[in-house]
Structure 1
Amino acid sequence: MASAHRPAPIHVAEEELAELRERLRRTRWPEPLPAAPWEAGTDLTVLRELCRIWADEYDWRPHEAWLNGLDPIAVEVDGVDLHVFRASSGRTDAIPLLLTHGWPGSIAEFRHVIEPLVDPVAGQPAFDLVMPSIPGFGFGGKPTEPGWGVTRIAEALHTLMVTELGHARYGVAGGDWGAIIGSRLSQLHAGSVIGFHTNLPLLGVHRTPSWAEGADEHERRLLARWDEMDATGRAYAQLQSTRPQSLAMAQTDSPAGLAAWILEKFQAWSDGGLDAFTPDDLLTNLMFYWIPRSVASSAMIYYESRLDPDGRVHPVPEVPTAAAVFPAEINPATRRWVEPNYRLVRYTELPRGGHFAALEQPALYARDVGEFFAGLGR
């Protein structure tokens, strides 16, 4: 029997918003380091301006209203309240689609793809979207015991879809941790998953010598990018997988400190940097970490997955899989590298976009998702 689903709208007290603005205005700013912009971390000029907008111009209330229009519910699964947002097409032939975000994102990443997925153009399938915050993220429940790595999260989301929401068969899509969780879920519950769409097909996949063997010029350039990311861009993951509590003290106390940590990733991992996003998109995503004080609990997915022996590499040999490759992605891919890990039925190289694909290029992302599921029999 399904558990009772409780309405779970977001209501941020005005006092919390006032405190946020005051903290932003009282930020103790460091001196800029003698390095080129973004080379040594977040550019202070850019950060100060965005924090000024956050304090003086940003209005949370319209975004809160939009989120509450997505029928948010709390569903207890395995002792944790999943905070679930939904968008229905109203069509009887719609495909239930589990759409999962990653770090440092939130379901706010999906704002611009919801409409084209639930109300598509002619010839594309319609979807009934289920968009949960990953346990420990956003305004949802925070695990209070160890063990919430990728495997346990994947099991919880499968229970949400099948047992709690009644979708015996459903699609799965996501990038970043959503891709890792989705691949593990598809591996564990292939009989329930119609298809798996990933825009980060090589996250967690170990490089093999075969990638360099016979590599053409394009692949050699991608391997050089991969080497550069390994050398200069993955320290954040090492820190969050070993000492997340220490860093989170500062991020929970300082909104500017939180913004510096997260915005650096949006700059580094996107096609065009922060210019690919509006200030409202960036700040609404930050609110998912600041208001519910979830920066520490969200980082725990790195810590727990380091301890989960099945937490990162998940070949998906049975479920039809689509790989959407965006050119500025942090783990660049080619079909030759991707294909051994999946039952790959669609591989698409998109002309622009990066790690936050649904937010950067919503039209391209939604079209690729729709075309993939349109080609699958159910």
Structure 2
Amino acid sequence: MSQDVTPYRIAIQDEALADLRRRLSDVRWPDAETTGDWSQGVPLHYLQELSTHWAHSYDWRATEKHLNSFPQFRTDIDGLGIHFLHVRSPHPGALPLLITHGWPGSVAEFTDVIGPLTEPENPADAFDVVIPALPGYGFSDRPQGTGWGVERIAGAWAELMRRLGYERYAAHGGDWGSFVTAQLGHADADRLAAIHVTMAFAGPPEEQVELTERDQAGLARVKEFMERESGYSAIQSTRPQTLGYGLADSPVAQLAWIAEKYWTWTDHDGDLDQAIGRDRLLDTASLYWLTNTGTSSARLYWESHNRVPMHQIAVPSGITIFPKDARMPRPWIEQRFTDLRHWNDADRGGHFPAIEQPDFLVDELRTFFRPLR
């Protein structure tokens, strides 16, 4: 198997964009929700407006050009082609930082933080940034067999950093990226300077621990999420193939599947544009649609949902919690992340901080990693 790292540029064919517009102009819509809100899912009027914008106003070529402004590569690891952004800092001694996205995310999620991380005002805060696309996501290959769960992905990421010449590095992630990053903290601890995550999970410790009001509120939110918001994960972790027929055939289905999560998981007062502009949402929907990865991305839930080992993590760890994201009690987290150096309960923000609060996230990464370089 070749270990070559080859340059890559995104080049979606005109025919694929024409097909997308054709499908968006020929939709059989369901009747409207009976509640007039989001409690039954994405409201009809919202999705119709968003679909019209996608078909007639959104400019994929501008997004493609922006992504292609960053150095991109592909390499084969463990039999699978992996796509990644690799942006080196012009400052010597920059700390390599591996960033992992989740679902429904992509490498495009982090474009606003690349510049500040690689070219900071203070050269001592500089990072070399590596952002791979998860297997089955974006322009990485789609696995043709089972076994590509969190542990195997972490092993592939460790090999990727080694292949790029980084024998010591740091890692950051959210959503599935948090799980991959934590697994790296266990499996590649000798090479990791530290890890930072925005969605840390841990089980309750055996001994009794005192929980603050914020801890209790976080557990209540997790319980509410499991009762009211976890249908997507139940489907993707059990029948991703059945779901995938709709996601692969209908861009509106793919758009609705993603838009619901963006609306629910971001920090806003009823207007998603407050948190994430519609073109940023459509960047994500377009990436999933144009690469036909709705099904393959969902399979990560089938592979790893509720199956990720909760190893203790001994490397220096930092955690930033956003109010519209999952929050586990700090005493639980401290039992798992045994060298917790940084903990911040942010006042605002949600599941996609690199889009919602990019400046804040950059400051968190600088602050945490600065003494650990």
Q: Give the TM-score normalised by structure 2.
A: 0.95
Partner of 2:278: 279
Shift of 1:288: 1.6
Distance 2:320 2:213 in 1: 21
Pick the aligned partner of 1:344 from 340, 343, 359.
340
Q: Answer yes or no: is the 8 Å Cα contact 2:200–2:327 preserved in 1.
A: no
Distance 1:170 1:283 in 2: 32
Partner of 2:85: 85
- 1:259-270 → structure 2 map (5 Å cutoff): 259-270=255-266
Distance 1:282 1:305 in 2: 25
Distance 2:2 2:195 in 1: 25
Q: Give the TM-score normalised by structure 1.
A: 0.93
Distance 1:20 1:312 in 2: 40
Shift of 1:210: 6.6
Q: Describe the shift of the 1:168–1:227 C-alpha distance in structure 2 as closer, same or farther (beyond 3 A).
A: same
Could you list the per-position Cα deviations for residues 258-309 of structure 1 after superposition, in whole angstroms to 9, with x for gaps in the alignment?
A: 01111101111111162211111111111121001011111111111149x5
Q: Describe the shift of the 1:52–1:92 C-alpha distance in structure 2 as closer, same or farther (beyond 3 A).
A: same
Q: Describe the shift of the 1:55–1:214 C-alpha distance in structure 2 as closer, same or farther (beyond 3 A).
A: same
- 1:183-332 → structure 2 map (5 Å cutoff): 183-202=182-201, 205-207=202-204, 214-272=210-268, 274-275=272-273, 276-306=275-305, 311-317=308-314, 319-329=315-325, 331-332=326-327
Distance 1:219 1:348 in 2: 13
Distance 1:220 1:249 in 2: 40
Q: Describe the shift of the 1:265–1:208 C-alpha distance in structure 2 as closer, same or farther (beyond 3 A).
A: farther
- 1:98-113 → structure 2 map (5 Å cutoff): 98-113=98-113
Q: Answer yes or no: is the 8 Å Cα contact 2:113–2:362 preserved in 1.
A: yes
Question: Which secondary structure state, in structure 1, belongs to the residue aligned with residue 66 of structure 2?
Answer: helix
User: In the alignment, does 2:364 pair up with 1:368?
Assistant: yes
Shift of 1:312: 4.6
Identity %: 38
Could you list the per-position Cα deviations for residues 314-370 of structure 1 after superposition, in whole angstroms to 9, with x for gaps in the alignment?
A: 3312x10000111111x2234323211112011111121011111110000011001
Shift of 1:74: 0.9
The amino acid that maps onto 1:44 is L
Partner of 2:57: 57
Q: Answer yes or no: is the 8 Å Cα contact 2:205–2:335 preserved in 1.
A: no
Q: Describe the shift of the 1:201–1:57 C-alpha distance in structure 2 as closer, same or farther (beyond 3 A).
A: same
Distance 1:124 1:54 in 2: 42
| Cα RMSD for the two superposed structures | 1.8
Shift of 1:136: 0.6
Q: Describe the shift of the 1:133–1:191 C-alpha distance in structure 2 as closer, same or farther (beyond 3 A).
A: same
Distance 2:98 2:318 in 1: 15
Q: Answer yes or no: is the 8 Å Cα contact 1:172–1:193 preserved in 2.
A: yes
Partner of 1:181: 180
Distance 2:290 2:68 in 1: 16
Shift of 1:27: 1.2
User: In the alignment, does 2:334 pair up with 1:335?
Assistant: no
Q: Answer yes or no: is the 8 Å Cα contact 1:271–1:352 preserved in 2.
A: yes
Q: Answer yes or no: is the 8 Å Cα contact 2:237–2:303 preserved in 1.
A: yes
Could you list the per-position Cα deviations for residues 58-105 of structure 1 after superposition, in whole angstroms to 9, with x for gaps in the alignment?
A: 111111111112111110000000001121211111011101100001
Question: Which secondary structure state, in structure 1, belongs to the residue aligned with residue 190 of structure 2?
Answer: coil
Distance 1:88 1:253 in 2: 38
Could you list the per-position Cα deviations for residues 37-64 of structure 1 after superposition, in whole angstroms to 9, with x for gaps in the alignment?
A: 1101112221111111100001111111
Q: Describe the shift of the 1:207–1:229 C-alpha distance in structure 2 as closer, same or farther (beyond 3 A).
A: farther
Shift of 1:255: 0.6
Stretches of structure 1 lacking an aligned partner (at least 5 in a row): none
Distance 1:24 1:65 in 2: 23
Shift of 1:215: 3.3
Distance 1:183 1:175 in 2: 10
